Amino acid sequence: MERPLKCNIFLDYSVFLLVRLLEIILIVLPEKMAMALGRMMGRLIYVLFPDRRKAAVENLTMAFGRERSPRWIIQTARKSFEHLGLLTVEFFRIRRWTQQEIADRIIIEGRLPYNLIMLPGHHGVCLLASHFGCFEISAVTAKFLGIKTNVIVTGLKNPFLSRYFFSRAGRANEDTGLKIVPHKGIVKDMIRALQEGETVGFLADQRGDAERGIFVDFFGSPAPANEIFARLAIDGEARVMPFCTYRRDDGRYHSIFGEEVRIQLTGDQHTDLKTVSQQFHNIFEQWLRMKPEQGFWLQRKWRRKPSRRHAQNATPESAIPSLKTKF
């Protein structure tokens, strides 16, 4: 047992060193060259990971198959992988932006809704985001505006990378305004934080457990939603503000604070969780329709990949579900 464990640690540490090397390269290069390298990395991932490529095409077909051509779907899938490469570049470079660079490069829309929801009062605020656009730039925008935020994140399997990324983003909450909170076992703590008037940010478009039965209409098809984010808003008695950032063609970024999500409760827990989750996903769909190439399409939203046992026992027709399947 010791040898495989040591081997895994060695591999994880080797990957960590490679990422650190990539970080140095992306920082040293001029921005245009770094962004070009990011696009190239995204195209490489598109070619080298056929399962992720297939997932992106399936998701885009579910979302836009009734409206767009197969050619458009393939092109958008490829662009979404380029977007993933650009996110990598931004992740490392934006931490070195000066306050003036942030002011020059980020266009902030929705200052009135932002001012209204941030008015003093005994209520917490949920910053509602998704895996759309440039969520790292959203974090920079929040820091620039002085919003002290608890950011819920999912840890990485690689312990070295996980520790490195979390320590960089979360060290000295007094300095950054952002407190990184690992997602496991923190629901009660975050509900308490919201009840005490703090701000919590999260990416609420994560796929839910289909067995729990919380489904939402997403691009016209039922999709399992992770109801934990609706629960945070409801039990935390928080006000919910949608917040997204997308990349513009001129190299700048557009951060948008949307209108407050009004939550009306019926008293039935299942109904309320489903209704609020649907409100969230209606907003996520609007964002994706605005800039579909900046969506995170490589994670299966509507259905998971069939298990090996199921795939072995299935016929070729049933092993790969039709993209036109109705739920």
How many whole angstroms separate alpha carbon 307 and alpha carbon 322?
17
DSSP string, 110-169: -HHHHHHHTSSSS--EEEEE-SBS-HHHHHHHHHHTT--EEEEEPPPSSHHHHHHHHHHH
Which range, 95-99, 187-191, 288-292, 299-303, has the best average confidence (pLDDT)? 288-292
- Residue 224, judged by CB atoms within 10 A of its CB (0-12, 13-18, 19+), counts as buried
Q: Confidence class of residue 318 from pLDDT cuts 50, 70 and 90?
A: very low
Bridge partners of residue 107, in order along the sequence: 254
pLDDT for res 305:
54
CB of 127 closer than 8 Å to CB of 114: no
The radius of gyration of the chain's CA atoms, rounded to the nearest angstrom, is 20
Paired sense of beta strands 149-153 and 221-224, if any: unpaired
Closest-CA residue to 31 (of 113, 97, 78): 97
Residues 70-89 as b/e (b if ≥16 CB within 10 A, e otherwise) read eeebeebbbbbbbbbbbbbb
- What element of type H or E holds 47? helix 31-48
pLDDT digits (tens, 9 = 90+) for 165-204: 776 554 434 455 678 777 777 889 999 999 999 999 999 9
Give the type of residue at 75.
Answer: Q
Q: Is the sign of the CA dihedral 188, 137, 96, 27 positive or negative?
A: positive
Looking at residue 181, its pLDDT comes to: 79
* pLDDT band, very low/low/confident/very high, at 298 (cuts 50, 70, 90): very high
User: What's the CA gap between 238 and 199, in Å, rounded?
Assistant: 9
CA–CA separation, 296 vs 155, rounded Å? 18
Which sequence spans correspond to the domains of the chain? 1-96, 99-298
Q: How many helices (H) and strands (E) does the chain have?
A: 14, 9
Place of tokens 């629901």: 187
Say whether pTM exceeds 0.75.
Answer: yes
Identify any residues that bridge with 261 across adjacent strands, giving them in sequence order: 240
d(CA 204, CA 43): 27
Higher pLDDT, 325 or 242: 242
- pLDDT for 185 equals 75
Which pLDDT does position 259 carry in this prediction? 95
- Give me the pLDDT at residue 325, please: 28
pLDDT tens digits along 108-129: 999 999 988 888 777 899 999 9
- pLDDT higher than 90, residue 23: yes
Please report which confidence band the pLDDT of residue 164 belongs to, taking 50, 70 and 90 as the band edges: confident
Contacting residues for 43 by C-beta, under 8 A, at least 6 apart: 78, 81, 82, 85
Least confident of 13-22, 223-232, 304-313: 304-313
Beta-strand (E) ranges in the chain? Answer: 106-109, 125-129, 149-153, 178-182, 199-203, 215-218, 221-224, 239-247, 253-257
**Beta strand 106-109 with 253-257: parallel, antiparallel or unpaired?**
parallel
Tell me what pLDDT residue 212 has: 66
